[in-house]
Structure 1
Amino acid sequence: MNRQHAAWLFLAPAVIVLGVFFLLPVIGAFALSLTDYDLYALADLHNLRFVALSNYWALLHRPLFWAALGHTVYFVVAGVPLSMLVSLCAALLLHSPLARCKAFFRTALFAPVVTTVVAVAVVWRYVFNTKYGLLNYVLGGIGIHPVDWLGDPHWAMPAIILFAVWKNFGYNMIILLAGLQAIPSELYEAARIDGASTWRQCRHITLPMLAPTLLMVGILTVSGYFQLFAEPYVITEGGPLQSTVSVLYLMYNEGFKWWNLGSASAIAFLLFVIMFAVTELMLRAGRKEVQA
């Protein structure tokens, strides 16, 4: 047996698992998106009809889909930079030689990532409460009138963004902290000898050396934030006035509330195309930055 055959032999279990539990369901979901599979077809497959791209065409002419896509893009555009900024600041603080009890703070800041969304969402609903919430109490202390965070369509999505950033920044923080620890300390020593300030060291050493890690973190964060579902589902249930309905929330309603599984599958593949395009643009921009 040559090395190539041996390699395929070792890879075979993983390939089989991926094929059965990933590739086949994806192919099945795409085939489903080309049909009008609904509750009637679920009861009797004779009611199933092939409709080609009609589900996609109907979604592109559906205002709720474009509204959900707008809410999702808003969440990504506002949430991703904020999450990465908080993650980077936390990683820089933990990497600083002045920091104490680093193990404790790493654990404490990472804890929200592994906490159940439903449990912390219940707590944050009380934080955002208009009358008794901690956030409005703090705002009242500085003379700002209470905000109806979860009942006002203009403030519901910012509230979800704050919750999502708090919930997820610890994951990126650990990755960025590992990237910071991989930067050779000799570079900083040489910069200090040359008289470079802390800001110049950050600008000319830390950020350039951390660029590949930041690109990876950015792609992971964008991909995760495009899949917004649990936060609006638990906190606002898509309201008020459907102002927090995301693409995945719409897909859930289509598939598991109205049993329009063909339309739900089409939503999933449209979201995949959008995520693939955004990821490709980020990768190309990252390559140009590295080459420059």
Structure 2
Amino acid sequence: MVTFGVFKAYPIVDSLLLSFTTGNGSAGHADGLANYRRLLDDPLFWTALRNTGEMLVVQVPLMLALALLMAVAINSALVRWRTVWRLGIFMPAVTGLVATGVMFSFLLRTEDGAVNRLLEAVGLPAVDWLGQPFWARMSVVLVLSWHYTGYNAVIYLAGLQSIPRELYEAAMVDGAGAVRRFTAITVPALRPLLLFTVVLSTIGTLQLFDEPYVLTGGGPDNATLTVSMYLYQNGFRYFDFGYASAIAYALTLLVSVLGAVQMRLMGERDR
């Protein structure tokens, strides 16, 4: 309890109080809701929020769809060495985020990156992955998907292995094809896991920091600036701790609301 109070509860309460002050460090003074009013009129905050939202809308469905396909493929009776495949797809999840970002910053170089060399080898033009706003955001999506797809696939695989085989056999006797069995048996059985991973992936993407910070530093032209990066800049580059705390609590509120809505949807469907 002492450890929790010192390292968790105290910083949370102190940062909340700090969000109602302006200035930096000990020079800050109470100023009510000034930081939150400033937040509403800050174009960079809305840019960061829009960037985060765009990457979330693309990355989360793409990653979870790939994860589900990988899980179904590994769970297939035609696949051997399942343990090896499961280990292989899970390995990126245990790779450090900074190491992942550094690795992809080399792979995605415009002039001599391995990805562009591969594109040129098959007759496609090179892409300025980290220098154009659209491709920079897609690069972050690519890195996130590479890092977390296997983690979610292993969760889905565990769910697939818990579905009784008798259900599939009965469906086959009734003449249900592979697609029908997938939509009528697999998806409903995995629905709690699907919603669980959607909630976790949404929360994680809203707090996105490491990958864009290492890959692009928020550029080009703030195209990959996220809310967490903007919080970091205000707190540790400009030392405006009150405003950074206000951004943190605005992000906390957004995460809480989206998480509550998604959990509510899951609860209603389970009844």
Report if TM-score (shorter chain) is over 0.5. Answer: yes
Runs of 4+ in 1 over 6 A off after TM superposition: none
Q: How many Å separate the matches in 2 of 1:90 and 1:133?
A: 27
Pair 1:28 & 2:14 matched:
yes
Give the conservation status (yes or no) of the 8 Å contact 2:101–2:210.
no
Match in the other structure for 2:108: 128
Pair 1:59 & 2:45 matched:
no
Q: How many Å separate the matches in 2 of 1:213 and 1:118?
A: 28
Give the drift of 1:101: 1.2
More divergent stretch after superposition (180-189 vs 68-77): 180-189
Of 86, 89, 95, 2:66 maps to 86
Instruction: Return the letter of the residue paired with 2:217.
Output: E
Give the drift of 1:181: 1.3
Calculate the aligned-residue CA RMSD, in Å. 1.5
TM-score under structure 2 normalisation? 0.95
Q: Which runs of 5+ in 1 are unaligned?
A: 1-12
Deviations 1:110-159 (A, max 9, x none): 11111112222222112211122222223223432211000111210001
Match in the other structure for 1:98: 78
Instruction: Return the letter of the residue paired with 1:167.
Output: H
Instruction: Return the letter of the residue paired with 1:102.
Output: R
Q: How many Å separate the matches in 1 of 2:10 and 2:100?
A: 35
Computing the radius of gyration over CA atoms, which structure comes out larger, 1 or 2? 1
Match in the other structure for 1:242: 222
Pair 1:118 & 2:104 matched:
no
Pair 1:193 & 2:179 matched:
no
Pair 1:259 & 2:239 matched:
yes
Give the drift of 1:37: 4.4
More divergent stretch after superposition (255-264 vs 185-194): 185-194
Q: How many Å separate the matches in 2 of 1:62 and 1:81?
A: 29
Count residues with an aligned counterpart: 271
Instruction: Return the letter of the residue paired with 2:207.
Output: Q
Between the two structures, name the one with larger relative contact order (CA 8 Å, sep ≥ 6): 2
Q: How many Å separate the matches in 2 of 1:261 and 1:254?
A: 7
Of 28, 41, 49, 1:48 maps to 28
Secondary structure at the aligned position of 1:30 is classed as helix
Q: How many Å separate the matches in 2 of 1:226 and 1:120?
A: 19
Deviations 1:231-250 (A, max 9, x none): 01111111111111100000
Match in the other structure for 2:270: 290
Q: How many Å separate the matches in 1 of 2:211 and 2:28?
A: 34
Deviations 1:14-57 (A, max 9, x none): xx55444323321111111011241xxx3xx3x33101110011
Q: How many Å separate the matches in 2 of 1:49 and 1:269?
A: 19
More divergent stretch after superposition (176-185 vs 78-87): 176-185
Q: How many Å separate the matches in 2 of 1:102 and 1:108?
A: 10
